[in-house]
Amino acid sequence: MRGIGDRNILDDFCIKFSSIVEKHCKYIVVSGFVAISSGRSRATEDIDMIIERLNMINFGKMHQDLIANGFVCIQSEKPREIYDYLKNNVAVRYTLKNSPLPDMEVKFAKDELDMLQIQSRTKLLLTGIDVWFSNVNMNIAFKEELLKSDKDIKDAEHLRKIYPELIDEPEIREYKRIIREKRL
C-alpha cells in the first residue's frame, strides 16, 4: 500500500497543475486520485478535475498560464477550440510538454451537482498534498451510486476506511438521491 504522504509523480503533477488553475478559478480533484492520494494502491495515469465555468477571456488567461508553466493541451493548441470543447461538456487533457503521462482531465462544472461539489470542496491533510478535493462523502456517493465499477467500489471502501471521522451516512444518502435525480 502506498504510504499516506509519500509523494510521487502524480502528486507533484497535481500540485503544479492545481496551483496554476487556482489562480484563475475554483476547482476540485475528483474520482480515483482522491483514493490514491489517500493511500490506496492502484494504478492510474490521469487525474480528474472539475473547474468552475469560465468565460473565454478568463479561460484564455488560465490556458496561457498553463502553457507558460510547461503544460500542453492534447486536443489542441488553440485556446478557442479548447474552450469550445469545455463549453460543450467535453473534457480536455493537459500533460507536461514532451511527457504524455500523467495527464489532467479537465471539465467545466456542467450542472448544480458539480457546483455543489465545488462548493463543498475540502483539503485532505492526510494526503500530504495541498490541493482541493471533492468532499469525501460526495466522492463515495458518486462511486457507489453512479460509477459502480469494481475499482470505484474499492475506492469508496478505502475512503470509508481511511476517513471514518468524515463519513456521514445521511449526507451520502442525500448525495446519492441528488445523483439519481440529476444524472441517472
C-alpha grid cell, residue 3: 504510504
Q: Which pLDDT does position 63 carry in this prediction?
A: 98
Query: Is the pLDDT at 72 greater than 70, yes or no?
Result: yes
Topology, domain 9-183:
Beta Polymerase; domain 2 (3.30.460)
Instruction: Give domain limits for the chain.
Output: 9-183
Band of pLDDT at residue 6, cut at 50, 70 and 90: low
For the residues 75-87, what does the mean pLDDT come to? Answer: 97
